[in-house]
Amino acid sequence: MSLKVDIRKTVGNFTLETSFETEGECLGILGASGCGKSMTLKCIAGILTPDSGRIVLNGRTLYDSSRRINLPPQQRRVGYLFQDYALFPKMTVAENITIGMRQKTAAEKSTMLEAFVHKFHLESLEGRRPSQLSGGQKQRVALARMLAGEPDALLFDEPFSALDSFLKEQLQFELAHVLQDYGGEALMVTHSRDEVYRFCGSVVILEDGRQVDGGDTKELFRNPRTLTTARLSGCKNFSRAERRGEYLLFAADWNIELTTAIPVPENVGWVGIRAHDFVPVSGEDVPAVNLFTAVPADISEDPFEVSVRMGVNGNDPSRYENLVWWKTERSAWENLYHRRYPELFAVRPEKVMPLA
């Protein structure tokens, strides 16, 4: 089983160019709003037509500009979960689910409906219309309808964007089970790094319609190669950087020379450090490299962690453009730091991220 996509599409002044392949896993497409994520899904589903390229699903060509192949959506056998779920408002839950069961007998539809109602915990809701359902119930109905069509691929367009945080966590567990049981091709577009990390074995990074990075999700989060990837993976601290050696760079905005654990590329332009990777230094345990002074600019306390913005190595903390973020668990803050703010920090070489 595989999905191969290599397409180009221009709308106005925006051009999407992307090329990727996935085999039997959930692939994430991560990027900021307007980068072309949803456009990619709509081209695969047949809702939009690319200007050129190919889309092949399990050896079956869905689109090929050179051969003038462009299957209509109903022939592509692709399930699409829209952001707003797109349930038919005048149909009941049962009707919304069974409408996807093509070429099935009445008895087969009844059996399948009963199975989906049980699987997605929709008992006693079969006769309700979408306006009578909660957000979580709507999503479960949409998932059941999508799977009822027995698709060869599942496409998810920001599937949790309309849900509150508590319901979102519940439904993420349910979707994980759906994907595990399904076992076929799946794509998820999102701007959430947490959703990509949780669901997707591989990820494609889009920026302004261009594919700028991609690969194994956990490895890409662990060692991002570009500024865009690091930013989308949650890093908050960036400085312009210049190479000073194979394992040495200078962070110009922080006025810090940093030793790295990986070779610094010739085209390095930035360096990133995650907020949780700054380590306060006290007593005699002073590291030999990557040590700097810090002065707090402001402190924000959440229920479980504390965020501090700091001016480092003499940077004026009142000038916000060069501040760095440090985050620590609230328990550590209360136990160790609330009486006396740490003046020295360090970062381990393996936590320094050289970026193109």
**pLDDT tens track for 247-280:** 999 999 999 999 999 999 999 999 999 999 999 9
**pLDDT tens track for 284-302:** 677 889 999 999 899 999 9
pTM for the structure as a whole? 0.86
Number of domains in the chain: 2
Q: How many beta carbons lie within 10 A of that of residue 239, not counting itself?
A: 21
Q: Return the pLDDT at 283.
A: 67
Q: Return the pLDDT at 23.
A: 87
For helices 135-148 and 165-182, give the axis angle rounded to 10 degrees: 10
**pLDDT tens track for 20-73:** 999 888 999 999 999 999 999 999 999 999 999 999 999 999 999 999 999 999
Q: Return the pLDDT at 58.
A: 94
Q: Check whether residue 184 and residue 49 sit in a common domain.
A: yes
196: alpha, beta or left? (left if phi > 0; alpha if psi -120 to 50): alpha
The one-letter amino acid code at 167 reads L
pLDDT tops 80 at residue 229: yes
**Domain membership flag for residue 230:** no
Q: Check whether residue 82 and residue 206 sit in a common domain.
A: yes
Q: Return the pLDDT at 213.
A: 92
Q: Check whether residue 197 and residue 274 sit in a common domain.
A: no
More confident site: 100 or 240: 240
Q: Check whether residue 60 and residue 187 sit in a common domain.
A: yes
Q: Return the pLDDT at 72.
A: 96
The CATH number for 145's domain is 3.40.50.300
Single residue among 170, 194, 223 that ends a domain in this structure: 223
CA distance linking residue 31 with residue 264, whole number of Å = 25
Q: Sorting pLDDT into bands at 50, 70 and 90, what band is 174?
A: confident
Q: Identify which of 14-18, 85-89, 188-192, 313-317 has the greatest average pLDDT.
A: 14-18
Q: Return the pLDDT at 24.
A: 83
Question: Average pLDDT for residues 93-102, to the nearest whole number?
Answer: 92
Q: Check whether residue 40 and residue 72 sit in a common domain.
A: yes
Q: Return the pLDDT at 77.
A: 93
**Domain membership flag for residue 229:** no
**Domain membership flag for residue 329:** yes
Q: Check whether residue 28 and residue 71 sit in a common domain.
A: yes
Q: Check whether residue 207 and residue 82 sit in a common domain.
A: yes
Question: Average pLDDT for residues 96-113, to the nearest whole number?
Answer: 91
Q: Sorting pLDDT into bands at 50, 70 and 90, what band is 335?
A: confident
Q: Check whether residue 25 and residue 53 sit in a common domain.
A: yes
**Domain membership flag for residue 210:** yes
Q: Sorting pLDDT into bands at 50, 70 and 90, what band is 82?
A: confident
Q: Check whether residue 285 and residue 325 sit in a common domain.
A: yes
Q: Check whether residue 285 and residue 154 sit in a common domain.
A: no
Residue numbers of the domain that contains 264: 235-355
Q: Check whether residue 248 and residue 310 sit in a common domain.
A: yes
Question: Average pLDDT for residues 312-337, to the nearest whole number?
Answer: 84
3-state SS track over the chain: CCEEEEEEEEECCEEEEEEEEECCCEEEEECCCCCCHHHHHHHHHCCCCCCEEEEEECCEEEEECCCCEECCHHHCCEEEECCCCCCCCCCCHHHHHHCCCCCCCHHHHHHHHHHHHHHCCCCCCCCCCHHHCCHHHHHHHHHHHHHHCCCCEEEEECCCCCCCHHHHHHHHHHHHHHHHHHCCEEEEEECCHHHHHHHCCEEEEEECCEEEEEEEHHHHHHCCCCHHHHHHCCCCEEEEEEEEECCEEEECCCCEEEECCCCCCCCCCEEEECHHHCEEECCCCCCCCCEEEEEEEEEEECCCEEEEEEEECCCCCCCHHHCEEEEEEHHHHHHHHCCCCCCEEECCHHHCEEEC
**Domain membership flag for residue 103:** yes
Q: Return the pLDDT at 284.
A: 67
**Domain membership flag for residue 228:** no
pLDDT tops 70 at residue 323: yes
pLDDT tops 80 at residue 321: no
Single residue among 223, 243, 260 that ends a domain in this structure: 223
CB neighbour burial string for 151-179, b if at least 16 within 10 angstroms, e if fewer: bbbbbbbbbbeebeeeebeebbebbeebb
Q: Return the pLDDT at 63.
A: 98
Average pLDDT of every residue of the chain:
91
Single residue among 223, 254, 289 that ends a domain in this structure: 223
**pLDDT tens track for 140-171:** 899 999 999 999 999 999 888 767 677 777 77
**Residue % of the chain over a pLDDT of 70:** 97
Q: Check whether residue 162 and residue 210 sit in a common domain.
A: yes
